């Protein structure tokens, strides 16, 4: 480990590729020592079936990971994203972070600017411990594709979903408004007729979108979504399963 860390100190590389499981070496120990002396981006190599180690590596400062055997084209993309992350820490891929909108148990939603299409979006970025769950990733991307196919006045538009710097993300239509809880705390109340109308507006055809995602992703264009803005966890109110 000392030799690897010394090389980082002397040569100041643009990127470090580090294997979690090297003969006679603990990749996490080497990662810790590297991050103590340098801000260099580190991408971890890992074998299948080691999500706990990947989560620890991401929390210790690794910017991304690659599962062996590695696809060469995918590796080039991950490396390019990792180097870019240091050059501009306020960007995630081609999204420029402007401010944090909301935070919950599964991730963070930012107001971001898509620099390629020059538009504002709500960028939902999942936590590392969730992003490294293969089953969650499959469900997350499947439901994102399902929602992207649906056009509904009470549903935010999904522009893109995937993985950037080891984290699952979803770029969605940015809807300005207030949350239901904030609206009620301000002393506003709905009549029974208004409540029925809001619920009707928020209804999503269950044949098009799975139940679990529909509750989280429905964001009323009138601004009465709750939880994390831009389609995330609903804490209370108008949309209930």
pLDDT in tens, 79-135: 887 777 665 567 788 898 898 888 777 888 899 999 999 999 999 988 877 777 778
pLDDT at 1: 61
With vertex at residue 115, the alpha carbon angle to CA 113 and CA 116, rounded to the nearest 5 degrees, is: 130
Exposure string (b/e) for 222-241, b if CB count within 10 Å is 16 or more? bebbbbbbbbbebeebbbee
CB-side neighbour CA atoms (13 Å) of 229: 23
Query: Which residue shows structure tokens 């402007």?
Result: 98
CB 219 within 8 A of CB 230: yes
pLDDT at 89: 61
* The two structure tokens encoding residue 215: 């509750």
Tell me the Ramachandran region of residue 93: left when phi exceeds 0, alpha when psi lies from -120 to 50, beta otherwise.
Answer: left
- Smallest CA-to-CA distance from 107 within 160, 51, 168 is with 168
- Smallest CA-to-CA distance from 86 within 168, 13, 162 is with 13
* The two structure tokens encoding residue 141: 């991307």
Instruction: Give the three-class secondary structure for 20.
Output: coil
Is the pLDDT assigned to residue 209 strictly greater than 60?
A: no
Is the pLDDT assigned to residue 45 strictly greater than 60?
A: yes
* pLDDT (mean) for 206-212: 44
Is the pLDDT assigned to residue 210 strictly greater than 80?
A: no
């Amino acid at each position: 480990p000392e030799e690897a860390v010394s090389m980082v100190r002397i040569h100041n590389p643009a990127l470090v590729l580090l294997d979690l499981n090297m003969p006679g070496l603990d990749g996490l120990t080497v990662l810790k020592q590297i991050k103590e002396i340098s801000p260099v981006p580190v991408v971890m190599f890992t074998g299948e079936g080691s999500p706990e180690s990947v989560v620890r590596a991401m929390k210790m400062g690794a910017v991304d990971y690659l599962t062996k055997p590695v696809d060469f084209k995918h590796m080039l993309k991950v490396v390019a994203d990792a180097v870019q992350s240091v050059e501009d820490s306020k960007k995630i891929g081609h999204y420029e972070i402007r401010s944090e909108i909301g935070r919950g148990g599964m991730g963070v939603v930012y107001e971001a600017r898509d620099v390629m299409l020059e538009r504002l979006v709500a960028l939902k970025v999942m936590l590392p411990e969730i992003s490294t769950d293969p089953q969650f990733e499959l469900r997350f991307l499947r439901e994102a594709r399902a929602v992207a196919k649906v056009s509904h006045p009470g549903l935010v538009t999904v522009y893109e979903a995937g993985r950037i710097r080891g984290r699952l993300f979803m770029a969605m239509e940015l809807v300005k408004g207030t949350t239901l809880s904030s609206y009620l705390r301000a002393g506003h109340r709905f009549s029974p007729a208004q409540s029925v109308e809001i619920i009707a507006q928020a209804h999503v055809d269950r044949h098009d979108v799975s139940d679990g995602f529909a509750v989280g992703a429905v964001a009323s264009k009138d601004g009465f979504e709750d939880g994390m803005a831009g389609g995330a966890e609903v804490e209370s109110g108008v949309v209930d399963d």
